[in-house]
Amino acid sequence: MFDNKEEHHSSHRKILKFLVEVSQLTNCKTIIEAGISTARSAEVLLNTCPDAHYYGYDNWEGDNVDMEAAARTRLEAYNRTTITKIDTLELKEFPEADLIYLDADHSTKYVTNELNLAGKALRKNGIIIVHDLFFPETFKAVQAWLVDKSEWDFMHMKIGMEYGILWRKK
Protein backbone atom coordinates (compact mmCIF):
# COMPACT_ATOMS: atom_id res chain seq x y z
CA MET A 1 0.00 0.00 0.00
CA PHE A 2 2.78 2.46 0.85
CA ASP A 3 5.84 2.96 -1.32
CA ASN A 4 8.06 3.98 1.56
CA LYS A 5 8.24 4.38 5.32
CA GLU A 6 7.67 8.15 5.23
CA GLU A 7 4.42 7.68 3.31
CA HIS A 8 3.26 5.21 5.98
CA HIS A 9 4.19 7.60 8.82
CA SER A 10 2.44 10.48 7.06
CA SER A 11 -0.72 8.38 6.82
CA HIS A 12 -0.53 7.47 10.51
CA ARG A 13 -0.08 11.13 11.48
CA LYS A 14 -3.26 11.99 9.55
CA ILE A 15 -5.18 9.29 11.38
CA LEU A 16 -3.93 10.45 14.78
CA LYS A 17 -4.89 14.04 13.94
CA PHE A 18 -8.34 12.84 12.96
CA LEU A 19 -8.67 10.88 16.23
CA VAL A 20 -7.89 14.06 18.16
CA GLU A 21 -10.57 16.01 16.30
CA VAL A 22 -13.21 13.29 16.69
CA SER A 23 -12.49 12.70 20.36
CA GLN A 24 -12.93 16.40 21.05
CA LEU A 25 -16.38 16.28 19.43
CA THR A 26 -17.60 13.37 21.56
CA ASN A 27 -16.69 14.82 24.97
CA CYS A 28 -15.44 11.35 25.77
CA LYS A 29 -15.36 10.00 29.25
CA THR A 30 -14.73 6.42 28.20
CA ILE A 31 -12.61 5.19 25.29
CA ILE A 32 -12.32 1.64 23.98
CA GLU A 33 -9.66 0.45 21.58
CA ALA A 34 -9.54 -3.05 20.11
CA GLY A 35 -6.07 -3.58 18.66
CA ILE A 36 -3.70 -1.50 20.79
CA SER A 37 -0.43 -2.33 19.00
CA THR A 38 2.16 -0.01 20.58
CA ALA A 39 -0.50 2.33 22.03
CA ARG A 40 0.30 5.42 19.96
CA SER A 41 -3.40 6.00 19.32
CA ALA A 42 -4.19 5.38 22.99
CA GLU A 43 -1.65 7.97 24.09
CA VAL A 44 -3.08 10.58 21.73
CA LEU A 45 -6.63 9.88 22.88
CA LEU A 46 -5.70 9.99 26.57
CA ASN A 47 -3.90 13.30 26.11
CA THR A 48 -6.84 14.75 24.18
CA CYS A 49 -9.44 13.50 26.67
CA PRO A 50 -7.86 14.14 30.08
CA ASP A 51 -10.90 12.93 32.02
CA ALA A 52 -11.47 9.76 30.02
CA HIS A 53 -10.85 6.20 31.12
CA TYR A 54 -9.26 4.03 28.45
CA TYR A 55 -9.98 0.32 27.92
CA GLY A 56 -7.60 -1.39 25.54
CA TYR A 57 -7.76 -4.93 24.19
CA ASP A 58 -5.10 -6.79 22.21
CA ASN A 59 -3.72 -10.31 22.12
CA TRP A 60 -0.29 -9.33 20.80
CA GLU A 61 -0.01 -12.83 19.40
CA GLY A 62 3.06 -14.29 17.76
CA ASP A 63 6.09 -12.07 17.51
CA ASN A 64 4.39 -9.02 18.97
CA VAL A 65 5.89 -9.29 22.47
CA ASP A 66 7.89 -6.10 21.87
CA MET A 67 4.70 -4.29 20.84
CA GLU A 68 2.99 -5.31 24.07
CA ALA A 69 5.95 -4.12 26.14
CA ALA A 70 6.00 -0.81 24.23
CA ALA A 71 2.26 -0.33 24.79
CA ARG A 72 2.42 -1.07 28.50
CA THR A 73 5.43 1.23 28.93
CA ARG A 74 3.76 4.03 26.97
CA LEU A 75 0.58 3.81 29.07
CA GLU A 76 2.02 3.17 32.54
CA ALA A 77 2.11 6.90 33.36
CA TYR A 78 -1.67 7.14 32.99
CA ASN A 79 -3.70 6.06 35.99
CA ARG A 80 -6.89 5.73 33.97
CA THR A 81 -6.24 2.75 31.74
CA THR A 82 -7.38 -0.84 31.77
CA ILE A 83 -5.35 -3.02 29.43
CA THR A 84 -6.52 -6.56 28.75
CA LYS A 85 -4.50 -9.12 26.83
CA ILE A 86 -7.22 -11.08 25.05
CA ASP A 87 -8.33 -12.23 21.64
CA THR A 88 -11.31 -9.98 20.91
CA LEU A 89 -13.35 -12.97 19.75
CA GLU A 90 -13.33 -14.08 23.40
CA LEU A 91 -14.88 -10.83 24.62
CA LYS A 92 -18.55 -10.98 25.61
CA GLU A 93 -19.05 -7.23 26.04
CA PHE A 94 -17.40 -3.84 26.05
CA PRO A 95 -18.05 -1.33 28.83
CA GLU A 96 -20.24 1.63 27.86
CA ALA A 97 -18.17 4.13 25.90
CA ASP A 98 -18.26 7.41 24.01
CA LEU A 99 -15.51 6.58 21.51
CA ILE A 100 -14.73 3.09 20.26
CA TYR A 101 -11.76 2.55 17.95
CA LEU A 102 -11.59 -0.83 16.19
CA ASP A 103 -8.20 -1.76 14.75
CA ALA A 104 -7.58 -5.39 15.72
CA ASP A 105 -7.76 -8.35 13.33
CA HIS A 106 -9.33 -7.17 10.07
CA SER A 107 -11.09 -10.41 9.13
CA THR A 108 -14.87 -10.57 8.77
CA LYS A 109 -15.47 -12.57 11.96
CA TYR A 110 -13.40 -10.21 14.11
CA VAL A 111 -14.80 -6.99 12.67
CA THR A 112 -18.37 -8.30 12.95
CA ASN A 113 -17.86 -9.40 16.56
CA GLU A 114 -16.26 -6.10 17.53
CA LEU A 115 -19.05 -4.12 15.83
CA ASN A 116 -21.67 -6.18 17.68
CA LEU A 117 -19.94 -5.41 20.99
CA ALA A 118 -19.42 -1.76 20.09
CA GLY A 119 -22.99 -1.26 18.94
CA LYS A 120 -24.29 -2.39 22.32
CA ALA A 121 -21.71 -0.39 24.31
CA LEU A 122 -21.86 2.94 22.52
CA ARG A 123 -23.40 5.78 24.52
CA LYS A 124 -25.71 8.42 23.07
CA ASN A 125 -23.76 10.78 20.77
CA GLY A 126 -20.84 8.35 20.70
CA ILE A 127 -18.76 7.33 17.69
CA ILE A 128 -17.30 4.06 16.46
CA ILE A 129 -14.23 4.29 14.23
CA VAL A 130 -13.20 1.27 12.18
CA HIS A 131 -9.63 1.47 10.90
CA ASP A 132 -8.16 -0.06 7.73
CA LEU A 133 -11.23 -0.14 5.50
CA PHE A 134 -8.89 -0.61 2.56
CA PHE A 135 -8.90 -4.31 3.51
CA PRO A 136 -11.81 -5.74 1.49
CA GLU A 137 -12.88 -8.04 4.37
CA THR A 138 -13.04 -5.12 6.80
CA PHE A 139 -15.12 -2.97 4.48
CA LYS A 140 -17.47 -5.84 3.58
CA ALA A 141 -17.94 -6.71 7.27
CA VAL A 142 -18.95 -3.13 8.06
CA GLN A 143 -21.36 -3.04 5.12
CA ALA A 144 -22.91 -6.37 6.13
CA TRP A 145 -23.26 -5.27 9.75
CA LEU A 146 -25.15 -2.15 8.68
CA VAL A 147 -27.66 -3.98 6.44
CA ASP A 148 -30.44 -4.33 9.03
CA LYS A 149 -29.46 -1.36 11.19
CA SER A 150 -31.40 1.63 9.86
CA GLU A 151 -30.73 3.53 13.09
CA TRP A 152 -27.03 3.86 12.19
CA ASP A 153 -25.19 6.28 9.90
CA PHE A 154 -21.86 5.52 8.27
CA MET A 155 -19.17 7.61 6.63
CA HIS A 156 -16.23 6.16 4.70
CA MET A 157 -13.12 8.33 5.04
CA LYS A 158 -10.43 7.74 2.42
CA ILE A 159 -7.58 9.29 4.38
CA GLY A 160 -4.45 7.21 4.80
CA MET A 161 -5.38 3.60 5.35
CA GLU A 162 -9.08 4.48 5.23
CA TYR A 163 -11.53 4.27 8.06
CA GLY A 164 -15.22 4.26 8.72
CA ILE A 165 -17.17 6.29 11.22
CA LEU A 166 -20.42 4.94 12.61
CA TRP A 167 -22.94 6.66 14.83
CA ARG A 168 -26.57 6.30 15.80
CA LYS A 169 -28.98 8.64 14.08
CA LYS A 170 -30.68 11.09 16.41
| Class in CATH terms, 5-149 | alpha beta
Q: How far apart are CA 64 and CA 167, in angstroms?
A: 32
Predicted confidence at residue 170, as pLDDT, reads 73
Give the tens place of pLDDT for each residue, 116-164. 999 999 999 999 999 999 999 999 999 999 999 999 999 998 877 788 9
Predicted confidence at residue 85, as pLDDT, reads 95
Predicted confidence at residue 12, as pLDDT, reads 64
Count of all residues that appear for the chain in the document? 170
Closest by CA position to 55, among listed 100, 90, 88: 100
- Specify whether the CB–CB gap between 128 and 100 falls below 8 A: yes
pTM: 0.90
- Specify whether the CB–CB gap between 166 and 127 falls below 8 A: yes
Q: Which three-class secondary structure state does DSSP give residue 18? A: helix
Domain boundaries, the chain: 5-149
